[in-house]
Amino acid sequence: MASANDTLGRVLAGRTEWARAEALLHEALSVRIKHDLLLYMPHGFDARAEVAAGLDSREEAARTLGIADRLRADLGLARWGPDERRFARLEDAVRSALGNDAYELAHRQGNEL
């Protein structure tokens, strides 16, 4: 269920259907937390960051990217190769919109959660 909701949420985010994407990604995250499915959480937080940016919640996007980065570091994971460029562009867009200092602060806040 979590994987299906995550995949559909990411598809809807790609179509800029932010509200529906956010709801499905939230459901996926809830299931993963409940069942301690940690390996997929960074992927889900990346998708949630994309939705936050799409909803013009750029500080939330930066914090959420920080959470995803922390989870990957703690779990010894790397971002899936095909997603690298996509999320590098997202990070650049959010950093550009917020400014470097505000981005770094929000990212660090997420990383410290």
What distances in angstroms separate CA 92 from CA 2, 6, 52, 74, 75, one per listed residue?
Answer: 29, 23, 14, 23, 24
Q: Which own/partner pairs from 10-18 qualify as long-range (CB within 8 Å, at least 24 positions apart)?
A: 10/47, 10/50, 13/47, 13/50, 13/51, 13/54, 16/54, 18/51, 18/54, 18/55
CA-CA distance, 37 to 28, in Å (whole number)? 10
pLDDT at res. 67: 97
Give the DSSP per-residue string, 78-104. Answer: ---GGGHHHHHHHHHHHHHHH-HHHHH
> Residue 63: what pLDDT?
98
Q: What is the pLDDT of residue 80?
A: 87
Give ∠ CA 22-24-97 in degrees, rounded to 5.
Answer: 20
Q: pTM surpassing 0.85?
A: yes
pLDDT of residue 100: 97
Per-residue pLDDT of the chain (113 residues; tens, 9 = 90+): 889 999 999 999 999 999 999 999 999 999 999 999 888 899 999 999 999 999 999 999 999 999 999 999 999 999 988 889 999 999 999 999 999 999 999 999 999 98
pLDDT of residue 109: 98
Query: What integer pLDDT is reported at residue 1 of this predicted model?
Result: 85
Residue 22 near residue 54, CB atoms below 8 Å? no
